[in-house]
Amino acid sequence: MVRRQNKLSKVLLSIVMILFAIYAAFPIVWMLICSFKQNDYIFAWPPKIIDESFGLRTYVRVLTDPVKLRFFLNSYIVSAAVVVLTLIIGIMAAYAFSRFDFPLKKAVNSIIVSVQAIPQICLLIPYMGIIVALQLFNTYWALILTYLVMTLPYCILMMTGYFNTLSKELDDSVRIDGGSRFRALWGVLVPISTPALVSVGLYTFMTAWNEYLFALVLTQTTNMRTIPIGINLLITEHNYDWSMMMSMSVLGSLPILILFLFFQKYFISGMSSGAIKG
């Protein structure tokens, strides 16, 4: 009796599990399917999964268009720069929070936690003025600096937490051998912090790659636009080129999808330790 009940609940749970999977994945799969179709076929009624237009033609169109390739290049440059700079600056600050006691420590720490709650839209108006005054409007640096400020708090909090789990004797052993604190940090602590660095790096890359609002306002010409804006430019055009939108979206999501599948464990540990998404 108990066994039959167990079997029944397993079947029911399996059905629920599959239904949820459909709920989560259906729009994504449909986008993928439509990215292989030609524009005139996408809204066939009744919808067809595969039709005679199925092929890679739209992808070829995206990948041979220098304007669209530039969106990808821009996103890669900005995101890579943000990851490198966030890690360097964040690691230094985290080291200070983990290894030193100083008068303003608690105050600075509370500011770092609480700034994550500030809606970006509230900063945007004066921010624009600051970027123009710094003569950075419509440059990579405008975006890099902005994303740095967005990703630093999470990096600092995560790395401080991680450094706190590492024994201070590690630093001391370097310093007894005559090494500086600088060497203790970069030569000893950083190499053994790889798991946390990967989580933080992934989160940082994703934030920079996906950001929309500041990229929209702080850049102006197509040679400075990033992927999210590039896709959005297609929406606002008069004749919707749906197949182009779908293949651009697939290509634009691919880097994050690949990183997610490869580094799933780090991705998830980053999420569950209170990751902050834009």
Looking at residues 239 to 268 of the shown chain, list those that interact with other proteins (rule: CB under 8 A). Answer: 242, 245-246, 249, 252-253, 256-257, 260-261, 264, 267-268
Contact 193, 166 (CB under 8 A): yes
Contact 150, 278 (CB under 8 A): yes
Q: Give DSSP secondary structure letters for 205-220.
A: HHHHHH--HHHHHH--
User: Which residues between 2 and 41 bind other proteins (CB under 8 A)?
Assistant: 6, 9-10, 13-14, 16-17, 20-21, 23-25, 27-28, 30-31, 34
62 binds other proteins (CB under 8 A): no
| Phi, psi angles (nearest 5°) of residue 268 | -70, -40
Rg (CA), the chain: 24
| Shortest reach from residue 129's CB to other proteins, in Å | 6
1 binds other proteins (CB under 8 A): no
- Of 50-58, 65-73, 106-114, 189-197, which part binds other proteins (CB under 8 A)? 106-114
Question: Which residues, other chains included, contact 2 with Cβ-Cβ below 8 Å and sequence gap of 6+?
Answer: none
Applying CB under 8 A, among 209, 218, 219, 224 the residue interacting with other proteins is 209
120 binds other proteins (CB under 8 A): yes
180: alpha, beta or left? (left if phi > 0; alpha if psi -120 to 50): beta
What is the pattern of x (binds other proteins, CB under 8 A) and - over residues 150-169? Answer: --x---x-------------
Size of the site for other proteins (CB under 8 A): 93
